[in-house]
Amino acid sequence: MTLQVDCPTCGAPVEWKTENTFRPFCSHRCKLIDLGAWASEEHAIPGDPLEDELFSGDLPPREH
């Protein structure tokens, strides 16, 4: 029996097996959509505000 998960991007069922090179995604397209969301900061991992303040002076301000 093969484990089946949902694609994080589109929700399609995905078989979790070695042959599926895109796992946990269903396709290369869904994998790239997710990567783009991280690159555009739509997805983010929350950080420690104190740590962020300590190191924020190490880099110049970002241009938007």
Enumerate domains of the chain plus CATH numbers. 3-58 (3.30.50.10)
Show binding-site residues for Zn(2+). Answer: 7, 10, 26, 30
Alpha helices in 1-64 (DSSP H): 28-39, 49-55
Q: In the predicted model, what is the mean pLDDT of residues 26-40?
A: 96
The pair of structure tokens assigned to 6 is 């949902």
Show binding-site residues. Answer: 7, 10, 26, 30
Q: Which residue has the higher pLDDT, 18 or 58?
A: 18
Q: In the predicted model, what is the mean pLDDT of residues 42-61?
A: 68
The pair of structure tokens assigned to 37 is 């969301």
Residue 56 has what pLDDT?
A: 59
Residue 51 has what pLDDT?
A: 59
How far is the first Cα of the chain from the last one, in angstroms, to the nearest whole number?
49
The percent of residues in the chain predicted with pLDDT above 90, rounded, is: 59
Q: In the predicted model, what is the mean pLDDT of residues 20-39?
A: 95
